Amino acid sequence: MFLRGSIVALITPMDAEGAVDDAALQRLIELHVDAGTAAIVAVGTTGESATLDEAEHCAVIARCVELAAGRIPIIGGTGANATAEAIRLTRCAERAGADAALLVTPYYNKPTQAGLVAHHRAVADAVAIPQILYNVPGRTACDMLPETAAELARVDNIVAIKDATGDLARVERLRDLCGAEFALYSGDDGTACEFMLRGGDGVISVTSNVAPALMRQMCEAALAGNREDAFALNERLDGLHRALFAESNPIPVKWAMAEMGLAQRGIRLPLTWLTPEHHATVRAAMQRAGAV
């Protein structure tokens, strides 16, 4: 199995002008090493991949690899809606020494299932690094069907899928079609506990930014099949699972990280800072999870 447990979809910390904050990035890497997080996704959706240019994108992945220094796996978010761009970004991740790449289904242009197969095969053929499929139709307007994932699972260096549909019926279907060695990760914090109890291998998590140790503990219990303990731990996290999506991700999680003193109040347009009406809700969820 490739990786199991709580994988954080890391924010890209920024200053008030939107420049990447290297000091905060160092703090966040250390936070996850100390918390026992299974791996870090650098520059995924939560890392504002849509507003970093290619040079910045590659630089942040490389910096995460450098800061991790082999202590925690780094997965580079390298998806794009143009296949050539996805290949360039995945090559950057490979050159930087990333352990794997996470590739979102091409967004906006709405490819067919055949187009998805051709896209991901092209990236896998061009770059040898292990690759994780990422299906999040709520953002991309493109749903990779389980049968398509199964076809791609036969490609040697396509090793896993992050499924953010929240459709728990897909876990068994994906496992049956893709086989026991193909890793299945939830991309939906709210259903991740049950996803793992049904046979999934972990979660690529927004919540783990704020409560990394508690998320690790919940994942460990769920992966061990300990339903009672997993539910008890997840109950403490459930408010965060919901509150961190009060506005578009990563708006609430970046506000939470600033409240914790781990990052500055930096985000890039067209995203804006969390509106005051949601502050109390997010803060209460943080308190429930022991984050503040």
From residue 280, give the alpha-carbon distance in Å to each of 104, 277, 286, 288: 32, 7, 10, 12
Q: Where are the alpha helices (DSSP H) in the chain?
A: 22-35, 54-68, 83-96, 113-126, 137-140, 146-153, 169-178, 189-197, 212-223, 227-243, 251-259, 279-288
First to last CA, the chain: 35
Q: What are phi and psi of 274, to 5 degrees?
A: -55, 130
Which listed residue (107, 162, 185, 254) is catalytic? 162
Provide the CA 224 distance to its chain's centre, in angstroms. 22
The two three-digit tokens of residue 153, written as one number: 């699972």
The residue from 107, 134, 185, 254 that is catalytic is: 134
Q: How far apart are CA 33 and CA 229, in angstroms?
A: 24
Q: Is 74 helix (H, G, I), strand (E, B) or coil?
A: strand
CB 130 within 8 A of CB 100: yes
- In whole angstroms, what is the distance from residue 157 CA to residue 85 CA? 19
Find, among 207, 200, 195, the residue nearest to 184 by Cα.
200
Respond yes or no: is residue 134 known to be catalytic. Answer: yes
| Residues 251/283, Cβ–Cβ less than 8 Å | no
- Name residue, tokens 């290619």: 54
Would you call 107 a catalytic residue per the annotation? no
Cα–Cα distance for residue pair 95/103, rounded to 1 Å: 16
- Positions annotated as catalytic residues are 134, 162
